[in-house]
Chain A
């Protein structure tokens, strides 16, 4: 028996899983119909009781986030779904939406009703044309079925849902930058407080939730909080999508209870590619400090990963074997953060620029040992000194790689360049095709 628990992915193997017919064949939209007969506060309580925590990286309890929305304030409320999935290594929400966009729409109906929002948005990244098509079609089909629009499910409740397509800016996955972008501005993070629950979209109370968080809600309504709580660990409840990529025999998506380990996941993925060994990995995208083989048995839940010095993040497990140069990997991530820094905060805008220059020198063997300490010094001046977590993310791979692989940085200095052959790390190392 495997430890896998496919719920969100349970019917992805059916050819029409993305259609409204395919979704309804397995009870689709029954949770929304049920929820609309409940008191909104009872839904918030149920989601709180389930223990569902945000699947977009931070792990904040979803029900609590909903509970922060002031009620009876005579203001418009908004639910905004963050489908801007762009964190390097993260590849769970896009396949979810490609295979089953309706589960997100059903979750949006329930969540909007709970927080008393009559307008909801899906902010999706712009570089995924076919996923955009699928979600757009699903919204139109849900309107036709009377699940969106006026008097949905004959309940007297109205809900408008708009798909908003981004245009290639990683920073818009940060919730306040996302809101600025949705309002029609450059996507730059806002200073908090006020938090979006008080002053979010158009300065109105707003919940921003990740795709997977909202998509988990229909199953909780239908099966109950206890069913959800029965999966996972003490403080990290439920099932979630783990994405394995890189130098593994069989990369892919694995839906399992929170707390599974990389060792267990690697067994399912057929291990590290043949003839090679694990060198380093990210537990939740490039912004989470690197792990090595010594973390194979770390429980992949919020607490377990945090106790081991990293973050669960998006559960994007990028696996690299011994052919991968750590300096090259870290430099490339750092170039990404430099490119994606929105430019609002000086430490991030200027700091990432300097980090790239130093790492480039180190990779080509032109650096000095003092540069390693300079990197750490720069990181400590960048971390925690900007409005959002992009800057912290930029420092993560640098600081953690220097902790585990300082000697490999030194080898570049002694060797006058990279000691490894980049060709050996490719999937077509021999034939070149």
Chain B
């Protein structure tokens, strides 16, 4: 899909954030994913042109970082943490359960294009293990069954909301725009902190009263 004039204007505004324009390459790649769903060859050529780089230089960056996809992912991209702590506490069982439930291997996409599945590394939510991410939103304290219910809700077109995130799960392209630094107006939704984040504070206040 060709990039429209208004999309190119957004790209130019992203470049203008930085003292040197090459620094804009990462948000531009996120933005490209918000338009096409993945990083297309056309996007690479356009970014190269805007930043006065060779296409090989843009390709080199896009292939270094795992969040940039060179082929379509699902409307909802599901990542199961299988780094040691989550894996041990149930992440391996959840990942195996989802693969079987969806009939997918790692990096696979369902035929209806709704769900893609990937095992991911530590996502900085270990006190909520086992953790599942969907479009990089937190789904804390998951079980095999809750993860299956989650992907079923996605395939039914009505995904369950994140545990610490916006009121509803936004799709992959909308998420990519947020990662490009474009404010979608949902920052004030959701909890300020989950229970585990507040545990020490609560104990401290109780101690001060007692």
Contacts and interface: CB of A to CB of B under 8 A. Distances in A.
B156 interface: no
B200 interface: yes
B126 A245 contact: yes
Given A2-B203, A184-B22, A320-B88, A252 B124 contact: no
Interface stretch (A12-20, A48-56, A402-410): A12-20
B154 interface: no
Interface stretch (B2-10, B100-108, B109-117, B180-188): B180-188
Nearest to B187: A137
A12 B144 CA distance: 30
A328 interface: yes
Interface string B151-163: 0000000000010
Nearest to B89: A427
A184 B25 contact: yes
A165 interface: yes
B193 A13 contact: yes
Interface in A85-131: 85-91, 93-95, 98-99, 119, 125-130
Contact of B204 (A2, A137, A162, A187): A2
Contact of B26 (A165, A170, A316): A165
B127 A336 contact: no
B108 to A, nearest CB: 18
Given A19-B188, A88-B85, A170 B200 contact: no
A6 interface: yes
Given A98-B192, A244-B127, A255 B23 contact: no
B56 interface: no
A166 interface: yes
Interface stretch (A32-40, A149-157, A221-229, A418-426): A418-426
Given A127-B136, A427-B130, A94 B124 contact: yes
A27 B25 CA distance: 38
Given A129-B136, A332-B82, A202 B65 contact: no
Q: Number of contact residues on B: which range applies? A: 35 or more
B41 interface: no
Given A130-B165, A130-B166, A183-B20, A137 B84 contact: no
B65 A168 contact: yes
A288 interface: no
Interface of B: 17-20, 22-27, 29-30, 51, 60-61, 64-68, 79, 82-85, 87-90, 92-93, 120-130, 133, 135-138, 143-146, 162, 164-166, 175, 178-181, 183-184, 186-188, 190, 192-205, 207-208
A426 B183 contact: no
A293 interface: no
Nearest to A254: B200
Contacts of B51: 184
A188 to B, nearest CB: 8
Contacts of B121: 86, 88, 170, 336, 339-340
A329 B84 CA distance: 5
A359 interface: no
Nearest to B30: A165
A13 to B, nearest CB: 5
A129 B165 contact: yes
A93 B92 CA distance: 26
13 contacts: A6-B201, A6-B204, A12-B197, A98-B192, A126-B179, A136-B181, A167-B179, A168-B67, A183-B22, A251-B128, A253-B127, A316-B126, A324-B88
B58 to A, nearest CB: 9
B201 A251 contact: no
Nearest to A134: B187
A162 B193 contact: no
Contacts of B124: 85-86, 90-91, 93-94, 125, 128
A202 B162 CA distance: 38
Contacts of B195: 252
Contacts of A86: 121-122, 124
B51 to A, nearest CB: 7
Contact of B179 (A129, A137, A256, A324): A129
B126 A318 contact: yes
A191 interface: no
Given A130-B138, A186-B61, A425-B88, A9 B123 contact: no
B70 to A, nearest CB: 13
